[in-house]
Amino acid sequence: MHRLIRKKNKQLGTTPRKSKEKDNKPPPQDPLERSKKTRSEKEVAQPSQAMTDEQTNREKNIKRKQLVKFVKHVLEKGPSGLQKEFSSMKRFNDFEKMKAFKQAQERGKNRYKDVGCLDNNRVKLAPPWPYDYIHGNYVATPNNAKRFICTQAPLEKTCADFWFMCLQSSNKMKFSKSEAKVMETVLTVEGQGATLKTTHYHWVDWPDRGVPAADMALCELLAKARLSKAPIVVHCSAGIGRTGSVVMIEYMMDQLLSGQVIEDSDKILQKIREQRNNSIQTEHQYLFVHQVMMNYFMEKKMFDENAKLAHLDFTEKYHKAVH
């Protein structure tokens, strides 16, 4: 099992440089006066014992009937069937639904020209920021309309935009899927008369378009993040592949923890993609989501003997498929 390790970081400045882009409005003056990373045990915001106990109790209350349909679907299809299921859900960009994205392309605000940002639920930067665009979307889980902000990794031109977005959403949790060790850093961001202390979790060995070990590390990380009421910012590079994998797992966990039956996997992914276009990029990432959930059920002793044997067979085939 991966261990959360704490890392002390150097001071980070985020006041944007003067941009060459031709906007009608002038660039913001010192929009973020300073951003500094600080590291001490006392500064890490710890959840109250009551909140932790409540979450533990919710996990204990998960019933087998909530996952029977999901487990049966996964075991009957197996990794090869799930790969075919994923391949049938084609990825595409409908740029008529991404007008702000197209306009921002000319100003160098998008990391990739083929990774669009939907207009219907995009995050909008509020005044006094001189423009409202950032490549990010709100993504809902069944019981939280703005559980996540899925966004691309900041560019030099969008770094200040990114931190302003965090300030305006009072975000106190941020995931970065970049390259399992997870680095935890406390950041204090100050600007526009506001101060935000946020905890940044950086997963350092999750390969682009690949998968890490499907153990309990991600479930434990999501359990910590779940205590935050504000939207959780998640990004990788494009903000759709590894990011989408995290969101899909939490979507299922939200259903379980609220007493609901897990929906069909393809329907869940479709709902996520309607909010963050083309979420989950590869068959391996789709398989990873299912393997993590199956391992979670095994860890929580929710399988009978027959399911345990079938799970072992699924796991063997999973490893052959992704390696």
Domain boundaries, the chain: 4-63+94-278
Using the structure block, give the residue that is written with the tokens 């965090």. 166
| Average confidence score pLDDT of the chain | 84
Q: Looking at 189-193, 249-253, 268-272, which range is the least confident one?
A: 189-193
The pLDDT of residue 30 is 42
Residue 279 has pLDDT above 90, yes or no: yes
Number of neighbours of residue 19 by Cβ within 10 angstroms = 13
Higher-confidence position of 130 and 59: 130
Q: What are phi and psi of 109, to 5 degrees?
A: -95, -5
Residue 8 has pLDDT above 60, yes or no: no
Residue 18 has pLDDT above 70, yes or no: no
Tokens of 300: 């929580």
Higher-confidence position of 10 and 168: 168
The pLDDT of residue 46 is 45
Mean pLDDT of 30-42: 39
The pLDDT of residue 41 is 31
Residue 181 has pLDDT above 80, yes or no: no
Residue 138 has pLDDT above 80, yes or no: yes
Mean pLDDT of 284-302: 97
The pLDDT of residue 115 is 97
The pLDDT of residue 12 is 26
Mean pLDDT of 292-306: 95
The yes or no reply on domain 4-63+94-278 and CATH 3.30.70.100 is no
Per-residue pLDDT band at 193 (split at 50, 70, 90)? confident
The pLDDT of residue 191 is 78
Mean pLDDT of 136-153: 98
Residue 162 has pLDDT above 50, yes or no: yes
The pLDDT of residue 179 is 43
Residue 115 DSSP code: S
With left for phi above 0 and alpha for psi between -120 and 50, is residue 155 left, alpha or beta?
beta
Residue 126 DSSP code: P
The pLDDT of residue 180 is 56
Q: Which is nearest to 141 in space by CA: 277, 232, 61?
A: 232
Angle 153-189-223 from CA coordinates, rounded to 5°: 65
Residue 4 has pLDDT above 80, yes or no: no
* Helix extents (H) in 106-241: 159-168, 217-225
How many angstroms separate the CA atoms of 279 and 239, rounded? 8
Task: Give the model confidence (pLDDT) of 280-289 as tens digits.
Answer: 999 999 999 9
Task: Give the model confidence (pLDDT) of 83-107 as tens digits.
Answer: 999 999 999 899 999 999 999 999 9
Q: Looking at 8-12, 28-32, 147-151, 288-292, which range is the least confident one?
A: 8-12
Burial of 124 (0-12, 13-18, 19+ CB in 10 A): middle
Residue 174 has pLDDT above 90, yes or no: no
Residue 10 has pLDDT above 70, yes or no: no
Mean pLDDT of 66-75: 96
The pLDDT of residue 184 is 86
Per-residue pLDDT band at 238 (split at 50, 70, 90)? very high
The pLDDT of residue 33 is 43
Higher-confidence position of 85 and 42: 85
